[in-house]
């Protein structure tokens, strides 16, 4: 396992300290993302939603132009790239000091997004769906979120057999970390991929063992917001899964998550503040 213990990433020419948790807001430039209220398309909607998230305390905004929910419509790379680039052009003009991530598994889209103002790449496929992605990230020299997934968004739900869930995922991610480091990529963030090629039970096992992913030596991102694991367990819908999201986000913080990727920024920021305030006293307690 990696001997690295990285707590900062170089983003936009400055060191971002991830020794304390931060919040990444989700901005879906799509008509079909699974949570309808996260969808924004017009320039006015994009600016309004981004401004709200930044005001509520999001440190990074994650811009996605392709829905990865099961059964989502396939779109061509050019259409995805156009969506993301157009959004970034508006966002960087209105919020020149903000930090933006491009949520894409396509190297061409990633490159254009960075040219259009993105500061990092969030790849749900962990390089599996585009053989050029690792070289592209190395060439761009931007932080990279390496996520675990099997198959494609259309097939991932059939690829949930693991010999040992967490060791298998750790092995896959470690192999990719080694490749990326050999290519000169040092600013990495690890995402174990909640909901991607995992059953509901496996997602809870993954959350229970989230601290294991810190062994890879890089900050860990938890993307649990309003997912099936929450709303099916509670027998509700994504629209009514905010309270469940906050509960699981807090458990993720307890297990070492450095970034919470969320649809609802304010509740996540409040969870971080309360968790941080509590942990200051943990080492002072004498039993």
Q: Is 285 part of any domain?
A: no
Determine the pLDDT at residue 2: 59
| pLDDT of 54 strictly over 50 | yes
Q: Which of 176, 226, 227, 255 is catalytic?
A: 227
- Report the pLDDT value the prediction gives residue 35, as an integer from 0 to 100: 44
- Residue 139 — very low, low, confident or very high, per pLDDT cuts 50/70/90? very high
Could you tell me the pLDDT band of residue 69, with boundaries at 50, 70 and 90?
low
Residue 39 annotated as catalytic: no
Is the pLDDT at 225 greater than 60, yes or no?
yes
Across the range 7-32, mean pLDDT stands at 90
The pLDDT of residue 39 is: 52
> Phi and psi at residue 48, in whole multiples of 5°?
-65, -45
Place of tokens 């020299």: 141
Does residue 187 surpass a pLDDT of 60? yes
Contact 271, 245 (CB under 8 A): no
CB contact burial 220-237 (16+ within 10 A = b; e otherwise): bbbbbbbbbbbbeeeeee
- 221 is a domain residue: yes
pLDDT of amino acid 198: 97
Q: Does residue 5 belong to any structural domain of this protein?
A: no
Does residue 52 fall inside a structural domain? Answer: yes
Flag whether 1 is in a domain. no
9 part of a folded domain: no
What are the beta bridge partners of residue 188? Answer: 144
N-terminal to C-terminal alpha carbon distance within the chain: 34
Count the domains in the chain.
1
Mean pLDDT lowest among 5-14, 49-58, 125-134, 159-168 = 5-14
Judged by DSSP in three states, 74 sits in coil
Q: Is 215 a catalytic residue?
A: no
pLDDT at 48 over 90: yes
Q: Which of 49, 83, 226, 261 is catalytic?
A: 261
Give φ, ψ of 59 to 5 degrees.
-90, -30
Q: Is residue 271 part of a domain?
A: yes
The CATH number assigned to the domain holding 191 equals 3.20.20.20
Mean pLDDT, range 228-246, rounded to an integer: 97
Among 13-22, 37-46, 107-116, 174-183, which stretch is predicted with the lowest mean pLDDT? 37-46
Question: Span 160-181, mean pLDDT?
Answer: 98
Q: What is the pTM of this model?
A: 0.93
pLDDT, residue 68, reads: 72
The range of the structural domain enclosing residue 250 comes to 20-279
Residue 119 has pLDDT above 80, yes or no: yes
Does 13 reside within a domain?
Answer: no
Mean pLDDT score, 119-123: 98
Contacts of 95 (CB under 8 A, 6+ apart): 50, 51, 54
Given a cut of 50, whether residue 181 has pLDDT beyond it is yes
What is the pLDDT at residue 263?
Answer: 96
Say whether pLDDT at 192 is over 60: yes
């Amino acid at each position: 396992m990696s001997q690295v213990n990285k707590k900062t990433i170089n983003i936009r020419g400055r060191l971002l300290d991830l020794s304390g948790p931060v919040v990444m807001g989700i901005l879906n430039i799509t008509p079909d993302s699974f949570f309808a209220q996260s969808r924004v398309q017009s320039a006015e909607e994009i600016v309004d939603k981004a401004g709200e998230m930044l005001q509520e305390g999001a440190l990074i905004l994650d811009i996605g132009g392709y829905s990865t929910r099961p059964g989502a419509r396939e779109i061509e790379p050019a259409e995805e790239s156009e969506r993301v680039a157009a959004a970034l052009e508006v966002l960087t003009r209105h919020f020149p000091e903000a930090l933006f991530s491009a949520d894409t598994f396509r190297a061409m889209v990633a490159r254009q997004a960075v040219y259009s103002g993105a500061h990092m790449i969030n790849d749900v496929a962990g390089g599996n769906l585009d053989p050029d992605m690792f070289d592209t990230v190395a060439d761009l020299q931007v932080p990279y979120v390496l996520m675990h997934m099997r198959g494609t968004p259309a097939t991932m739900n059939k690829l949930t057999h693991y010999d040992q869930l967490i060791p298998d995922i750790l092995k896959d991610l470690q192999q990719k970390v080694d490749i990326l480091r050999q290519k000169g990529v040092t600013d990495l963030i690890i995402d174990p991929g909640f909901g991607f090629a995992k059953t509901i039970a496996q997602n809870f096992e993954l959350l229970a063992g989230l601290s294991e992913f810190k062994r890879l030596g890089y900050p860990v991102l938890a993307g649990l917001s309003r997912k099936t694991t929450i709303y099916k367990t509670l027998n509700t819908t994504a629209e009514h899964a905010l309270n469940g999201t906050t509960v699981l986000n807090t458990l993720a913080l307890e297990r070492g998550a450095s970034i919470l990727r969320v649809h609802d920024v304010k509740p996540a920021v409040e969870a971080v503040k309360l968790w941080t305030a509590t942990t200051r006293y943990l080492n002072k307690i004498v039993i």
